[in-house]
Structure 1
Amino acid sequence: MNLVRQFMLLATCLISITAVAATKSQQPNIVLLFSDDAGYADFGFHGSKIMKTPNLDKIAQQGVLFTQGYVTDPTCGPSRAGLITGKYQQRFGYEENNVPGYMSKNTGVDGDEMGIPTNEVTMGDYLKRLGYATAFYGKWHVGGADKFHPTKRGFDEFYGFRGGARSFWPYTATNKPPSKLDYMERGFGFYEEHEGYLTDVLADEAIDFIERKHKEQKPFFAFVSYNAVHTPMEATEEDLAQFPELTGNRKIVAAMTLAMDRATGKILDKLEELGIDDNTIVVFTNDNGGPTDKNASDNAPFSGTKSNHLEGGLRVPYLIKWPGKFKAGSKYNYPVMTFDLLPTFYAAGGGNVADLKGIDGKNLIPHVTGENQARPHDILYWKKDVRATIRQGDWKLIRYPDRPAELYYVPNDVKEIRDMAAEQPERVRQMFKTLFEWESTLERPRWLLKRKFENYDIDRMDKYRWEKLDAKSAKSGDVIVK
């Protein structure tokens, strides 16, 4: 009988081990491809006849194209903060882009101290809990100080730069960047400039990680954060030659987009070569609308650009390919946000979304598969200082500090040229109330504009008075933002 019991116990253990191993092997790998300052219209899958994006188009053909994909903010840093935490970044006071001209209300420090608070849990943290190997390549831009470093925020490996922009070519002893945050860094504190064009290098680094983790039979999450097509406007001569009909920055942005597409193709080809493309989720999206005056990007058919709350500043390309799970070549037409990716990845990796406390993102899997026919979000919000926007259903209200609010019905007016606020006063009042109620749940902004009256007691100033001063000084020229 003892032998029988021992045999049964051994068999039970083996079954348990096998079940765990099977679960691990079924976890999909995840590759998140993230572009920077790209225009909505600058991709073949959005109808461009100028840009050459066959590999990105392939993701759309093999996956789902989200026709109403939004970012949590129309600028780089806050948008990334929302994506990486799965929540509105205003919940932890990250309202401003970490650029010169802003200061902490507590320390007076700017620049590298502007990051995601260390008590916030990141996408990397969550996936590591599920057994994923995690790596981040490229532009970080959510905190330059050591405490915010990617390897301390859920990523096992890092090769990239902590700042918001840098050259696509390596820096040298005679050609130095403006800040140490712009140097390429491998791991923590080991600065190592690349060779060649950076967009290509980021793909090579991600491929090396993918090959190593595949050999180890470990599920992986690779976050490839291109700095293309952000300024400076730099491209290779070979890529520029592909667009003889174009001139100026439009020619350069086309060449930069081509390089990003080529890098994406190399990653997709490696997944296929290793035989793991069928078990890999591939996502492509962007951090905000294109700054058309800076890099000649195109946000058609929308009005607006990076930094404002019109559709051209908020709506971005948004693709997810998951073979066998999401129908190839399909479209999803309800509004989604980039913060939905965190719970979607967590659920795909076998996690229970109920364990994700305090997030605003939604698991998109049941919505895309049709199991849940409802909208993922009935209401979406955006806010920066006193500027704020609410989308409720298909109605969108934009609040300004210096003029009346505007109301648009998005499906019939994607260019936002017919303001219906005067025709819908009760709707405006109701949406204002809902917006105010949401704002009351938020933390005060962590960083404030530097001003001529810097001796004013910021910490004792209530938020409303500070916002009133924002509006006043914006008119009087007291703002010192560069």
Structure 2
Amino acid sequence: MKMFHKLLLVVLVIWGACDAPRKVLAEAASRHPNIVMIISDDQAWNDYGFMGHDQIKTPNLDKLAAESAVFKRGYVPTSLCRPSLMTMITGLYPHQNKITGNDPPKGTDRQKLLKHVRSVDCLPAMLGELGYKSFQCGKWWEGNPKLAGFTSSMTHGDPKRGGRHGDLGLKIGREGMQPVYRFIDQCGDDPFFLWYAPFLPHTPHNPPQRILKKYLNPETPVELSYYYAMVDWFDETCGQLLDYLDKQHLSENTIVVYVTDNGWIQYVPESDAERKKMKRRFRYAPKSKRSPYDGGLRTPIMVRWPGKIKPAEYDTLVSSIDLAPTLLDAVGLKPTKEMEGINLLKVIQDGGRTDRKAIFGEIFEHDMVDIDDPKTSLKYRWCIEGEWKAIFPGPRLKGEKPELYNLAQDPFEKHDEAASHPERVKQLLKLTNAWWDGESR
């Protein structure tokens, strides 16, 4: 027994003299996967190589898709950037977190809106409970990112210094990736959460000439050429980020999530005469951004987790409100009771099957009418069940009627079938009212 005690003492001395305890702690921490959210800004759901576009080149996102679970029928609940981004960071619909538009009513202090981000649980703060370091770069509307729990950021959010929707953070991607690399390096053995939401391919459409020249040709309208080049540029920055994870040997223990904040269909003038009269040359077409149509709402949603998620494609209807509960589950945390999204890891495990009957969303005014009462700004609610999508105008839109589309046969929503299928419209309205009847909660 004495000999055993002596041996144990020797082991403990050696243990204490080396860095074994630190390594064990580091290994325990590393069991929590890193999380990288890549969020495109103003890009249509089909503007990718892997989604079938025949001109736009997205080799890096195509590669990510080949390594991911890809939900080709992903959606954001609303087609405007600020409220859409808040669905991702909170796992709540806009009518729940009260951020329904980009700006408050004219004359209202923008700082008053920040009470809403303070009043809800946000991913960075929740992950911080497990020791995650978090970094914000790119688009961000909710003041200083520390309010949501980010431990560091590029954005300052001070309106006196130009803070509105990202300020200094909007340089990421367009002016290089060094801040991201620096953050990753500084994390050491700590798990990290990276919010990469570059101002791309958003206007201004000013791509590098080396990329633009790939798309300039007599057959393609110049507006499309510039937009295509912007998507290509965004894809290039995604490749730089993913390559850096590989270089630092971090990819195996990193969950990468991809989504876009809202769609964009590039408007093309019908003539040179119209082009000369336009005040804004690069603008979005109807049925895209800010609309209740798939051109503004649909997005591929990808989840990559090497060794844990088998690459596959799914036609399952999913939503950006599913991202927060999915990521929380991945690190061993429970979603809040207010979160209505589902765990995509379970959907993947079940081969794409889910008990969810339908997905829903809502469109509001760009400028909120009442910052505390979502129903005052409501324009549309929408619902998708299977291949059928219904759009229900709110009381603000006098004279508009419900619309109904068969997305399997009519993916670009050109043929309204509401008059031909009144019972289905009624049934989808019942589902939508059960989700949210337009009244404040």
The Cα shift of 1:34 comes to 0.7
The aligned runs of 1:183-262 (5 Å cut-off) are: 184-185=167-168, 198-201=172-175, 203-213=177-187, 216-245=188-217, 246=220, 248-262=222-236
Matched, 1:155 2:155: no
The Cα shift of 1:41 comes to 2.4
Counterpart residue type for residue 55 of structure 1 = N
- Whether the 8 Å contact between 1:233 and 1:295 is mirrored in structure 2 is no
The aligned runs of 1:29-48 (5 Å cut-off) are: 29-48=34-53
User: What is the rounded CA distance, in whole Å, between the counterparts of 1:183 and 1:322 in structure 2?
Assistant: 28
Question: What secondary structure does 1:199 align onto?
Answer: coil
The Cα shift of 1:331 comes to 0.3
Matched, 1:74 2:79: yes
Partner residue of 1:103 out of 102, 105, 115: 105
The aligned runs of 1:269-308 (5 Å cut-off) are: 269-293=243-267, 304-308=287-291
Q: How many residues were matched structurally? A: 399
Q: 1:217/1:181 Cα in 2 relative to 1: closer, same or farther (>3 Å)?
A: same
- Specify the alignment match of 1:404 in structure 2: 401
- Whether the 8 Å contact between 2:223 and 2:282 is mirrored in structure 1 is yes
Q: Kindly provide the CA deviation profile for residues 378-407 of structure 1, in whole angstroms up to 9, marking residues without a partner as x.
A: 342324314221223433211123222112
User: What is the rounded CA distance, in whole Å, between the counterparts of 1:53 and 1:163 in structure 2?
Assistant: 35
The Cα shift of 1:159 comes to 0.8
User: What is the rounded CA distance, in whole Å, between the counterparts of 2:164 and 2:305 in structure 1?
Assistant: 35
The aligned runs of 1:250-399 (5 Å cut-off) are: 250-293=224-267, 304-328=287-311, 330-353=312-335, 356-370=336-350, 373-376=353-356, 378-384=358-364, 385-399=378-392
CA RMSD of aligned residues (A): 3.4
The Cα shift of 1:357 comes to 2.3
The Cα shift of 1:183 comes to 7.6
User: What is the rounded CA distance, in whole Å, between the counterparts of 2:194 and 2:225 in structure 1?
Assistant: 30
Q: 1:161/1:319 Cα in 2 relative to 1: closer, same or farther (>3 Å)?
A: farther
User: What is the rounded CA distance, in whole Å, between the counterparts of 2:154 and 2:265 in structure 1?
Assistant: 26
The Cα shift of 1:248 comes to 2.5
- Whether the 8 Å contact between 2:26 and 2:189 is mirrored in structure 1 is no
Identity score, percent: 29
Matched, 1:83 2:88: yes
Question: What secondary structure does 1:82 align onto?
Answer: helix
The Cα shift of 1:413 comes to 2.7
Matched, 1:117 2:117: yes
**Structure 1 length-normalised TM:** 0.74
Counterpart residue type for residue 417 of structure 1 = K
The Cα shift of 1:247 comes to 5.2
Q: Which moved more, 1:112-121 or 1:26-35?
A: 112-121
User: What is the rounded CA distance, in whole Å, between the counterparts of 2:417 and 2:198 in structure 1?
Assistant: 39
User: What is the rounded CA distance, in whole Å, between the counterparts of 1:313 and 1:90 in structure 2?
Assistant: 18
Q: Kindly provide the CA deviation profile for residues 62-107 of structure 1, in whole angstroms up to 9, marking residues without a partner as x.
A: 1122110100201111111111110111113322232xxx518xxx
- Specify the alignment match of 2:431 in structure 1: 434
- Whether the 8 Å contact between 1:122 and 1:154 is mirrored in structure 2 is yes
Q: 1:76/1:295 Cα in 2 relative to 1: closer, same or farther (>3 Å)?
A: farther
Question: What secondary structure does 1:350 align onto?
Answer: coil
Counterpart residue type for residue 349 of structure 2 = T
- Specify the alignment match of 1:414 in structure 2: 411
Q: 1:350/1:178 Cα in 2 relative to 1: closer, same or farther (>3 Å)?
A: closer
